[in-house]
A and B are shown apart, each in its own frame.
Chain A
Amino acid sequence: MTDQNRFEEARRRFLKGAAGAATLAIAPGVILHQVARARPASQPASSENRWGMLIDTTKCSSGCDACVRGCQEYNGWGDNEVHSDAAQKAHWIRKVEVRNRQTGYTHSLPVMCQHCKYPPCVDVCPTGASMKRDDGIVLVDKHICIGCRYCMMACPYKARSFVHEELHDQLPTAPRGKGTVEACTLCVQRVDKDGPEAVPACAEACAAEGHNAILFGDMNDPNSKLSKALEKYGGTQIREDLGLDLGVRYLGI
């Protein structure tokens, strides 16, 4: 028994020491990280950050599509595709109504690119156009996208759409054109500009509507609001069984 205790004690001491070492190792990292908060334009995105969102579906009301409209307005999609039918039109973000058949409980949630850590769209892309940045944002490099749409097939979240027609007067911050695939960019221009203080257009529109259901932040920073909320409330990944480690987490689904 005493041996057992001694063993436990030694184990604890070892773990404590290890934790101390980890804190020491992290400390300069944290300082560096704080410097990197307002990342200068010349500095590339870094794997020190992993941008993500937590969407509280209990605050999300079923008739509201403010997030969708906010995204459309900021990224310039939706209304300028005049020849595409509803199934062909872009859907960077869409509202999904879910109903439990047994209990009749319904709720509503926005679904967009989930910014997987292990994105299937990147796995299947034959040209390397489908890509994940170091900070976890999954993007399409439309310069080399050939429009094969394998990524659309591979995505379990129906997050990607294809531009079927010529477009004009796109927004400078969101180039998009015929023959390429596109999806939520997590408002990458804002993220590059404002770092952890960035607010994606969907979150901004949601807050303007008074719902505040979408929280953006850095999942790698234990002190970020997002990490704190995830720590406190958990958060579900859609189709967690696929093991894709999503950047977008939900509450109340």
Chain B
Amino acid sequence: MASPLRSILAVAGLGLLLSSPLAGAGNLLPEIPKAKARVSATQGCVEPTEVMRHNHMKFLLHHRKEALREGVRTKKYSLMECINCHVPDPDSPQAVHYGNPKHFCSSCHTYAAVRIDCFECHRDTPLPSSRKSTSASGVTAPVTLASGVDAHALKKASSPAEEN
């Protein structure tokens, strides 16, 4: 007797649940920065977006083994290329480091509570355009974000050293 009513209520409740974060509080979902380029007119990244969202870590894991241990230097799944396309030039006012929610990788990892240690060793920004032309130098001053927040402090806070 009550089952149709219950199901209607359930559907309505579900609808409320689903709509509330989407409609009322869009800022709960990660704001993923746009990439600098598209692979093609129909496809944004090297794989369809959904595939990348689910599997980027697998691609990176596979590629790191190939690149380091075998010397296969294809660019398709290279972390360096991800960074080059998804993270702004450190010379630009939009410069961000990992740990800042505006950093492409951080934007989702913060939301999904995923801790990675890629950037303990890997560079989290492209090489500044000013340094690409000259010889690459390892000597750098601490980078300060546009907002005046020390990027390194953010990076430190978000990614502790011991995790492997």
Q: Which residues of A contact B (CB under 8 A)?
A: 41-45, 72-80, 131, 133-135, 139, 141-144, 146, 166-180, 188-189, 192-193
Contacts and interface: CB of A to CB of B under 8 A. Distances in A.
A46 B164 CA distance: 30
A41 B162 CA distance: 33
A18 B122 CA distance: 52
Nearest to B70: A44
Interface string B121-164: 11101110000000111111011000000001001100001101
B71 interface: yes
A126 to B, nearest CB: 14
Contact of B121 (A45, A74, A131, A170): A170
Q: Which 7 A-B pairs have the closest CB atoms?
A: A76-B138, A177-B121, A45-B71, A44-B70, A175-B121, A177-B120, A169-B140
B72 interface: yes
A41 B136 contact: no
* Residue of B69, B71, B125 with most chain A CB atoms under a 10 A cut-off: B71
Contact of A178 (B73, B120, B137): B120
A interface, by DSSP: helix, strand, loop or mixed?
loop
Contacts of A44: 66, 70-72
A166 B126 contact: no
* Residue of A80, A141, A146, A172 with most chain B CB atoms under a 10 A cut-off: A172
B83 interface: yes
Contact of A75 (B72, B120, B138, B142): B138
Contacts of A166: 120, 156, 161
A141 B68 contact: yes
Interface residues of B, number: 33
A133 B67 CA distance: 11
Given A73-B136, A76-B136, A179-B161, A172 B80 contact: yes
A185 to B, nearest CB: 10
B75 interface: yes
B3 interface: no
B83 A73 contact: no
Nearest to B152: A168
A116 B122 CA distance: 27
B74 interface: yes
Contacts of A139: 68-69
A41 B75 contact: yes
